[in-house]
Structure 1
Amino acid sequence: MAEAERENTRESNLEGLDAAARRASTAADTRSSRTTCSHTVLRRREGGESVEQIQLDLFIPIRKRKGHNPSVATIYRALAEHAKREAHPEAVAQADAAFAASRTATVPEPRPAIPNRAAL
């Protein structure tokens, strides 16, 4: 009986993981907020402000830390990401194309149920 219960729990966990993979839309949300943040940071850095001054006026628009200020490390990470994009625009275009292709791919079907070992 306990083995059957464990098997049912395992199957429901796998189904939940598959469902989460099919509806994964978090990457686009995070990517858009970073882009907005980097534009604001770049504009203000050109004006001569320090990262610490900029940090106090920025707010995270989504997720668990919604309404809080991003860390200084996050701002520096956005600046480094922008510098990479400027240095290698062809790599960015290729990565964006690959990401778009992965988003239009077909959704995988749920995994088939594993036969009950007790019945074998």
Structure 2
Amino acid sequence: MFFAVLAVAGQIERNLFREENLEGQVTSAAKGNHGGRPKVIDDDMLTFAVALKDKGVPVPDIAKKLTIKTGKNAGKNPSVASLYRALAEAEEAAIDGGLPLRPELVHIRRPGRT
């Protein structure tokens, strides 16, 4: 009976710890912190990579042209795997969100010219 009481107390403590942990995660998510490692390839790099890929440049060559801006690997090139992953995520987000992956060209006409 003594061990049963200890087991119940331990289970209650684990449940309490789990609830507090989940509450902390929800609070952090509301503040914009979702945990995990930061992305190596930012939006500017991704836009540049998509433009080069559209021109037919191989992905390993694109990775050599990009430079990581922040973090412990600042100044180095991202891995080819990271670039493939970022391109796939961008493609998937464009399909799911109904947004174009590549911006359409816009021709600006000046007044008085046709």
TM superposition score normalised by structure 2: 0.50
Find the counterpart in structure 1 of residue 109 from structure 2: none
CA contact (8 A) 2:53 2:59 kept: yes
Larger Rg: 2
Find the counterpart in structure 1 of residue 74 from structure 2: 66
CA contact (8 A) 2:67 2:75 kept: yes
Find the counterpart in structure 1 of residue 44 from structure 2: 36
CA contact (8 A) 1:59 1:70 kept: yes
Higher helix share: 1
CA contact (8 A) 2:41 2:86 kept: no
1:63 positional shift:
0.4
> In the alignment, is residue 83 of structure 1 matched against residue 88 of structure 2?
no
Q: Name the aligned partner's letter for residue 52 of structure 1.
A: P
State how far apart, in whole Å, the 2-side matches of 1:68 and 1:41 are.
16
State how far apart, in whole Å, the 1-side matches of 2:70 and 2:34 are.
10
Structure 2: gaps (5+ residues): 1-23, 99-114
Structure 1: gaps (5+ residues): 1-17, 91-120
Find the counterpart in structure 1 of residue 55 from structure 2: 47
By relative contact order (CA 8 Å, sep 6+), the higher-ranking structure is: 1
Q: Name the aligned partner's letter for residue 85 of structure 1.
A: A
The structure-2 alpha-carbon separation of the partners of 1:33 and 1:41, relative to structure 1 and needing over 3 Å to count, comes to: same
Query: Could you give the per-residue CA deviations for residues 52-100 of structure 1, whole angstroms, max 9, x where no partner exists?
Result: 111111100000100000000010011111111111117xxxxxxxxxx
Percent identity for Structure 1 against Structure 2: 26
Counterpart secondary structure, 1:62: coil
- What RMSD in Å do the two structures reach over aligned CA positions? 2.9
